[in-house]
Amino acid sequence: MLGGLQTIVARDLRLSMRRRGDVLNYLVFFVIVVTLFPLGVGAEPNLLRAMAPGILWVAALLAAMLSLQRMFASDYADGTLEQMLISAHPLGVIVVGKTIAHWIMSGLPLTLLAPVLGVQFDLPQAALATLVLSLALGTPVLSLIGGVGAALTLGVRGGGVLLALLVLPLYIPVLIFGAGGVAEATGGMSAAPHLSLLGALLAISCAVAPWATCAALRVAYD
């Protein structure tokens, strides 16, 4: 099972590197959205620090959403996903591998880039560290939940809009706890409660989301 998981992750990463333009699109979108806010609201440091947690987290969430539709779509279109469903490897292993690869190509770059962009909001060091930690905990949840939505809308016309409607309500707790933790750190308070709740969401998502994604993929082929 471990060998199969590594194979799926390596395969999806190679395919993503062949479509580097898609990965750059998410990152460029994230950079543009975050950069335009200080230009639009002015250079007031207190205002920027107060707005920074929400801006950074909303931009990261929307950038991660842009990549969800491609998680299974290309494999579904060329028949590869159907072969995966009947392969010797358990479908859960395949789903987990594709989710890990999706996070590496979308969530991880956003996590590493966020503190660099956070500097322009005059965030203190503690808030930048909390931002990285909150994104490291929260972006895998976005990928796990997004995988369920991507599987449910597989092959559906206008699936992008439907996918957004499905996953956005489920993303709200991640957004609240992630941005709230950074806001607490910015104000000099402890972000531990918010990070603990993000960790709990990650644990629940790891237990439930792969199973739900497998069920949705089987429904798509029935």
* The two three-digit tokens of residue 16, written as one number: 């993503």
Q: What is the per-residue pLDDT across 160-208, written as a single tens digit (0 to 9) for each?
A: 778 888 899 999 999 999 999 999 998 888 899 999 999 999 999 999 9
- pLDDT in the model for residue 193: 93
Q: What is the per-residue pLDDT across 32-90, written as a single tens digit (0 to 9) for each?
A: 999 888 888 777 888 888 899 999 999 999 998 888 877 887 777 777 777 777 777 78
Q: What is the per-residue pLDDT across 134-171, written as a single tens digit (0 to 9) for each?
A: 999 999 999 999 999 888 888 777 667 788 888 999 99
- pLDDT in the model for residue 158: 64
- pLDDT in the model for residue 1: 65
Q: Report the number of distinct structural domains present in the chain.
A: 1
Q: What is the DSSP letter of 222?
A: -
* The two three-digit tokens of residue 13, written as one number: 């990463």
pLDDT for residue 20 is more than 80: no
- What is the C-alpha separation between 64 and 110, in angstroms, rounded? 8
φ, ψ at 99 (rounded to 5°): -70, -40
What is the domain range of residue 129?
2-221
- pLDDT in the model for residue 210: 92
φ, ψ at 219 (rounded to 5°): -65, -35
